[in-house]
């Protein structure tokens, strides 16, 4: 399974992030899955790719040319797609993915997973969409989705494909349901 993971190119300030991202990467590699990610060697992205590779997995990066020019590419990854811009990058990551995970991240992570959530709600994509709610990171987003339901601006069926997982074990269980 190609697992697309959205996450930041910074390390964040919570030491739990590094531990959790390395565990996720090791799990991906040890379980015969392949990682699709943004291609960076920096921050959480680099840690994730490094741990997948160290566990025997394959890593595909999708990096826009301007990030390649800036020197952010992780040279040790298995395969690299270079895109013209961020829109083309998102499309390629969706094309390559069989499952999608949003690790805690910034506005880029939010934008990327929001597109997946929208495609799933519209039935334009049938794949696991998981928000890794590490230490309640996505609590606010869950509350917003609940508000959409209470306001009748969405429906339970549209949101049914969007899952929250508080641990790697929960992520693994969701992915095994869809294997």
pLDDT in tens, 85-142: 999 999 999 999 999 999 999 999 999 999 999 999 999 999 999 999 999 999 999 9
3-class secondary-structure state, position 64 = strand
pLDDT given for residue 151 in this prediction: 97
The CB-based long-range contact list for 111-118 (8 Å cut-off, 24+ gap) reads 112/6, 113/6, 115/90, 117/162
Residue whose C-alpha is closest to residue 61's, from 47, 43, 82: 82
Counting DSSP H helices and E strands in the chain, the numbers are 8, 7
DSSP E strand boundaries for 7-133: 34-37, 58-64, 79-83, 99-102, 129-132
| Its pTM surpasses 0.75 | yes
Topology of domain 2-176, per CATH?
Answer: Rossmann fold (3.40.50)
Sheet with 79-83: list strands edge to edge: 79-83, 58-64, 34-37, 2-6, 99-102, 129-132, 162-165
Which helix (H) or strand (E) element contains residue 54?
A: helix 43-54
Is the pLDDT at 179 greater than 80? The verdict is: no
Domain ranges of the chain: 2-176
3-class secondary-structure state, position 55 = coil
How confident is residue 178, by pLDDT bands cut at 50, 70 and 90?
confident
Residues of the chain by 3-state class (helix, strand, coil), percent to 5: 50, 20, 30
**For the packed helices 107-121 and 86-96, what is the interaxial angle rounded to 10 degrees?**
50
pLDDT given for residue 71 in this prediction: 87
pLDDT given for residue 81 in this prediction: 97
Maximal CA-CA distance, the chain: 48
């Amino acid at each position: 399974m190609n697992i697309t993971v959205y996450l930041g190119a910074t390390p964040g300030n919570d030491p739990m992030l590094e531990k959790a991202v390395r565990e996720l990467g090791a799990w991906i590699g040890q379980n015969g899955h392949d990682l699709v990610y943004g291609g960076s060697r920096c921050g959480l992205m680099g840690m994730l790719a490094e741990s997948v590779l160290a566990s025997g997995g394959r890593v595909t990066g999708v990096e826009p040319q301007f990030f390649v020019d800036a020197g952010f590419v992780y040279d040790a990854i298995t395969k690299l797609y270079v895109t013209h811009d961020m829109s083309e990058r998102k499309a390629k990551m969706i094309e390559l993915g069989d499952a999608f995970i949003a690790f805690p991240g910034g506005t880029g992570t939010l934008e990327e997973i929001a597109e997946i959530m929208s495609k799933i709600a519209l039935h334009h994509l049938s794949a696991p969409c998981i928000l890794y709610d590490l230490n309640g990171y996505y609590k606010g987003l869950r509350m917003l989705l609940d508000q959409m339901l209470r306001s009748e601006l969405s429906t339970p069926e549209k949101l049914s494909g969007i899952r929250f997982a508080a641990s790697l074990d929960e992520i693994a269980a969701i992915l095994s349901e869809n294997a």
